Structure 1
Amino acid sequence: MTTRPSGRAADALRPVSIETGFARHAEGSALIRMGGTEVLCAASVEPRVPPFLRGQGKGWVTAEYGMLPRATHARGPREAAKGKQSGRTQEIQRLIGRSLRAVTDLTALGEISITVDCDVLNADGGTRCASITGAWVALRLALEKLVRNRVLARVPLTAQVAAISCGLTEAGAVLDLDYDEDSTAAADANFVLTEAGGIVEIQGTAEQAPFSQAQFEALMRLAQAGTAHLFAAQLAAVDKALAARSDAS
């Protein structure tokens, strides 16, 4: 057993913070920091739905994801300049959208669309997981604003959702991989979970040799413990934002 590059314990998250209201014009926003990874999540509300949902009385929640050119060690070209999104970008933003829809009552939302933009300012591993965790906060605050403005009778969320990465490294099964660990892990997985223990999605890959069910279960236990901390951070951020709104009104 070796020490993790960061010196963290196997079950330790990187420092986590969620700052709300960072995007001043968005209906809901959250800047989430997980170690060296920083993602700005901004929720925008539109009083219409995509054509395939018109007339059904249901709403839509989706996401877009992108990385600033110098979010990584070397500059990455803007995808807009290339004229198309990479397969990785499309896969991640679909994951974020699925994760948010899994905990949203789209019928109670009515014919309203909410798009959560997740822009990576700095990347040090786990950007998709940080995006999902921060996006839920941005979505919750946007929905709270719709309730306050009497557009909705209640917040149409059925659960919290958060995500965390785990992996098998030289230090064993570890929680919340940073870039150094992620780039050399023998296996890694992303867990998207609800606070009640529900599984929204699990993405797991053996980078070298296949891993066992026992190893997977060890990763799952780490993910459950890690997301418990993230759920608490989400609620603390939402409570602080709502208290600030009450004081301002």
Structure 2
Amino acid sequence: MSENSHIAPMRLAKFLSHCGVCSRRQASRLIELGQVQVNGRAANHIDHVTEQDDIWVNGQKVVGLAPKLLYLYHKPVGIDCKLSEQDPSSLLHHLPKGPRVYPVGRLDKDSRGLLLLTNDGELCHALIHPDKHQEKEYIVKVDKPIDGTFCETLAKGVPVDGQTTLPCTVVQIDERTFKIVLKQGLNRQIRKMAKHCGRQVMDLYRVRIANLMLDPMTVPEGQYCQIDIAALVLSV
């Protein structure tokens, strides 16, 4: 790393996210698993580091701060957001060339649409932390007809994994399709909400995160485009 530190000492997990290695949450997991070394020893969560420290993650040297990048990716069905080199369906094999980026949250393997990719750990935190309540909009098709009661039930909140989902916006589009806008991201939340109401999701398509809309004419399925981080407007 550089001889002169360009930043004040910071917690190791935060530093790794700033360097574009992974999100802060993922960095904490790697530290816990003993996969991070600092100056020749196993790292711990209370380590504070700078660019002057010798830091390795999974046998690869961390080379310092990377430019902050943000990509909009039009994810197809069949791509797994887990970054596994051994899995041919992994998103890892479809990332843009250049500094390493990672997905902001996930879309299920059988879901499609807008996925953001970044190496900015602070931005990732602001988008996915449950206290931030950033909007995510989906178009959902189910296996059976729906009506106003179905939409009202989802909108008010239903039991999912031992808790009631937050109120959300649900608008019927046609006999079996609705738009839903969430401000939380429980595991497979929409599928579980629909199942609670006796429906199976046949197609789940994310079209918006915060103020960023997916335009399939501009970004066809399987493609991505780099966008200015300043173009992303987050709710306070």
Q: TM-score, normalised by structure 1?
A: 0.25
Q: TM-score, normalised by structure 2?
A: 0.26
Structure with higher helix content: 1
